[in-house]
Chains A and B, each alone.
Chain A
C-alpha cells in the first residue's frame, strides 16, 4: 500500500480499491481532492473563526477570498499534474458507455470542492456575525438608539412636516408647470401649521406617480379628487441599516413611528439611565471605518440637529458597526444566488477546460485556447471599428459556434487526425453550455429597443427567468452531448492515425 501524507487509512484503502476496480475514477483523484479540500476548508474555517472575532469591524472578505482562491488554484495545478499521469482514454483502455459523463461529473465535483473552499471565509464571517448578534437584537438596538437620542435631544429636534403639493392630470405636459393653489389646513393634520388657508405651489403628476408617492408618504392630505398635499416627517432615524429588519419579527421604527410614539407625547426621560445606555451602545457597536469622511456640517436645519446629535453620541461610528454586522449577517441570505452563479460558472469553465485537456493532445488544447483568444481579439476589433452593438458580438459568437460544429462533425468523415478539427471540437464543447444564454441575450438585445419605442404599452418580459432557463438548458444540453456526441467525436478524433 502506497502511503500518502495526511491520508487516513480508510481513504488509502478506498484509493487502492479504486485503482484495482475503477481506474477511471481513481485516475480522476476526486476522492483525494474532496478530502484535501475538506481539510483545507476546516483549517480555513478554524483560522477565520478566530480572525473574524469582531463582527462590527469592516469586512476584508475580498482579500480573504483572493488569498484562499490562490491557494485553491495552487491545489488545482497540483491536481492537474496528477491528472497528467493516468488517463484511461489516452491509454486506449476499456471504456464503458457512461464513462465520459462520469469523468465530466468527477471533474466537476473535484473542481467544485476546490472552488467551494473559496467561499469558506465568507461563510465563517456570516456565521460569526450571526453568532455574535441576534436578528431581533440588532433591530431592537437600532430602535432604542433612535428613540433614546430623540428623548435626550428633544430640544434640538425639528417638528415641521414639509408639505409637497401635487395635482393629478391624465397626461403630463411636455414642459414643467409651476402653479399655486390655496389649501385649507385642518387641525391635527400637522403640528407646525395653524388651521386655515395656506398657499402652496403644486406640481403636475400622473396617476402612476401618485400611486408611488402614496406608498412612500408619511402623511397625505387629499384636497379634492385631483389635488394632494404630501407631508414629510422630519428624520428622527439617526441610526438605520438597510434591510436590517427584513428577516425579523421586530421592525425598525420609522421617523413617523418615533414622532407619534415619542415626540408627539413627549415625557421627560431619566437622562442618567439613557446616557448610560447610549454609552453601552457605543461600546457595543462603534467602530471607525477607513471609508469615513467625518460628519457633514451644513447650514440647513436638518444637518445642524442631525450632526450635533450624531457627534454627541458617536452615532456615525455606531452606524458603521451596525451596518457591518447587518451586511455580514445577511450576506448569504441576500446573495446566495449570486454566490451560486459564481461557484457554478467558475467550476463549469474549469471543468470544461480539464475535460477538453483530458481528451485532446497538448498541442491541440493550447491551439484551441489560442484560437479562442484570437477570435475574441478579432471580434473586439471589428466591433470597435464598426461601432457595432452588443447584439453583433452575440451574433459573431453564434456564427463561430456554427463553424465549430461543422469542423467537429467533419471528424466523422475523415480517417486522419487533424489539429483544425480538434480545435473545432474543443471549442464546440466549450461553448455549448453558454449557447442558450447567448440566444436569450441576443433576443433581449433585439427586443429591448422596442420597449422604449412602445413605451408603457410594451409588456415587460421577465428576462431573469429566461436567463435562468437558458443556464439550466445549457447545462442539460452539455451533459446530453457529452454522453452522446462528444465522446464519439473525441474517440474518433484522438485515436485516428496521424498524417
Chain B
C-alpha cells in the first residue's frame, strides 16, 4: 500500500467514532402497495427523535435528524392504510415504502372500478427500477458486479410507442423511472458522476402520421422535479387528453440547461511534455463529460418495447433497447415509461 494511503486510512479510522454522531438523512418514496401509486401527504416520523414530515406529490419524503437517537424507528402512516414501522437501522437510501390499503379502502376501489376501465400500458414495478446488484463469476474466477438497470439519456428526445385497446381513450397519468447516471458497483466504490435531485424536462404526447411514424404533437408539458423520487408520476387527469388513435407515442425531451447538468468522469490522456529522446510523455487526466438529466431506467422486461430517438424532433431513429450486459432474467428490455389510460 502506498504510504500516503496508509496514513490516510489511519486518519480515516480515527474519524469513524466521530461520524456516528453526525447528522442522518432519511429519504425515499411512500407508495400504495397494490397500485404502487405515490401517496401524497403520508406522514413519516422518527418515533424517538420526535420528528415528522409529510410526503409531497411524488410520495417523497426527506427527514433530516441532527441528533440521531439509538434504536429509533421510522413510522409511515396514512389515513386508510396500515401503518408501517421500520427500524431506522434497517433504512436503505431511497427506499420505496409500500403501505397496504385497509380493507374498507379496497372495497371502495372495486366499486369504482366497475364504472370505468383503467389500464396501465407498459406498467413497470418499483422493483424493476430499483437498483439490484448482481455478481458474475468470470471464467478466470473473478467476481464482477453490476446492476440490472442501465441509464437512458439522449441529447434530444426519446419516444416510446404505445398501443391502446381502442380509440378515444383518455390519458390520465404518465409514470417514469429515474436513476443516477452512475451507481457504484460495490460499497467501496464512489460514484463517478455528480448527482442532482433537480431536473426539468418536456413530456410530449405524439400521434402517428399516415405511415405510422411519429407525427403531430397533441400535448406538451414541462415537468420540474426537485426531489430525489425514483418513480415520477405525472398527473394529467385535468388536461383532458383524448387520444384519437390506438397507436400513440409518449416522448421525453431533454433540455440542455444548467439545472440539468451532471458531470461524469472519464479518463482522458494528455501530452505532459516531450522527453529528451523526442517522444511524448503521456499522462492520464480527468475528462469531464457534461450530461443532462433525467436518466431514465432501462430494465429487463418480459415484454419488449419499441422506441425512437431524435436530436431535432424531426428525424427519428429506432432506439436500441439492448442492454450492454447479457440478459439474465428476461430476454427483452424496456424503458420505465408507462401510460395509464381510462376508457
Asked if A and B are interacting partners, one says: no
Residues of A within 8 A of B (CB): none
